[in-house]
A and B are shown apart, each in its own frame.
Chain A
Amino acid sequence: MTWFLVHFAEIVFYSLAAVALAGAVGVIAFRSPVHAALSLLGTFLAVAGVFVLMQAEFLAAVQVLVYAGGVMVLFLFVIMLVKARDIPDEPQYVRRLVPAAVGLGALLAALVGVGIWAASGGLPADGAALRMVAGAPLGNTEAVGWSLYRDYLLPFEVVSIVLLVAMIGAIVMGRKESGRGGAA
């Protein structure tokens, strides 16, 4: 029992990591796109749990709100719009995807590696330095706000440009379809 209490955080972390990985495997293993999307939902929620474990409560809430909420709705809408049986199921189609998958996998591994290398050197391990403003301790959301709106001003404003491009892009592509189809 004491062993359980001492290693509680580790037990929770490895359980969540297992759920996240199982969900990720499920995304590519399930034949039904809806099952794959639900599997991805499990991964999103497990990652939210990992964020809570790292005391990043704000990120956990955002993970649930934006990814498990908004992005998942988007995925399900796309599955609804695209007929799954229209997607070719031929081996040569899959074979053509192999180089792209290997390339993307290598890129992702490199990015994660650089991220771990950078984080293990420069950043404070528990983010404690970010949590003090004028001698007063901050909550996680307050610490994010303080850091984001003072130190990361330009990236924050660039986000609005990215969102603007996403919005206009979606509208342009959506309108094109209805214009071709006649009166909209």
Chain B
Amino acid sequence: MNAYIPVLLFIVIAIAFPLITFVFAWILRAGRYDPIKLEPYECGNPITSEAHDYRFSVRYYLIAVLFVVFDVETVFLFPWAVMFRKLALFGFVEMLVFIGILVVGYVYAWRRGALQWV
């Protein structure tokens, strides 16, 4: 458990730094309020509409799902990789089957143009 002391220290600093920054900003700021200050920053241009007035392409979702799927696939590679020598040929074939099944989905995604941003 002692190995986690640096991690704990990291978390404490990561929380303390923004807190201290906020406290300093709260002490030092002028406190003049204006409705314009609450608007999103648009490089100095006046805001024409709200972000939600536009419809976003469903492709964002598609890309996110594909990301999560390949993310999970990668997660399964880590415990396999650290035990690669002990699992020997059996583990290698096992992983080939696993990746082989997922390659079917990958080829399907590629053929259907899901990886392209049209």
Residue ranges of A at the interface with B (Cβ–Cβ < 8 Å) = 9, 52, 58, 62, 65-66, 69-71, 73-74, 77-78, 80-81, 83-85, 133, 139, 141-142, 144-146, 148-150, 153, 156-157, 159-161, 163-164, 166-168, 170-171, 174-175, 177-178, 184
Contacts and interface: CB of A to CB of B under 8 A. Distances in A.
Given A73-B67, A81-B56, A156-B98, A174 B61 contact: yes
Determine the main DSSP class of A at the interface with B. helix
Which among B59, B75, B76, B102 has the greatest number of chain A C-beta atoms within 10 A?
B76
A141 B84 CA distance: 12
Given A145-B87, A149-B87, A167-B105, A74 B68 contact: yes
B98 A157 contact: yes
A141 B78 contact: yes
A156 B76 contact: yes
Contacts of B56: 80-81
Interface of B: 1, 4, 52, 56, 58-62, 64-69, 71-73, 75-76, 78-83, 86-87, 90-91, 94-95, 97-99, 101-102, 104-106, 108-109, 112, 114, 118
B79 A178 contact: no
A46 B100 CA distance: 35
Contact of A81 (B61, B87, B99): B61
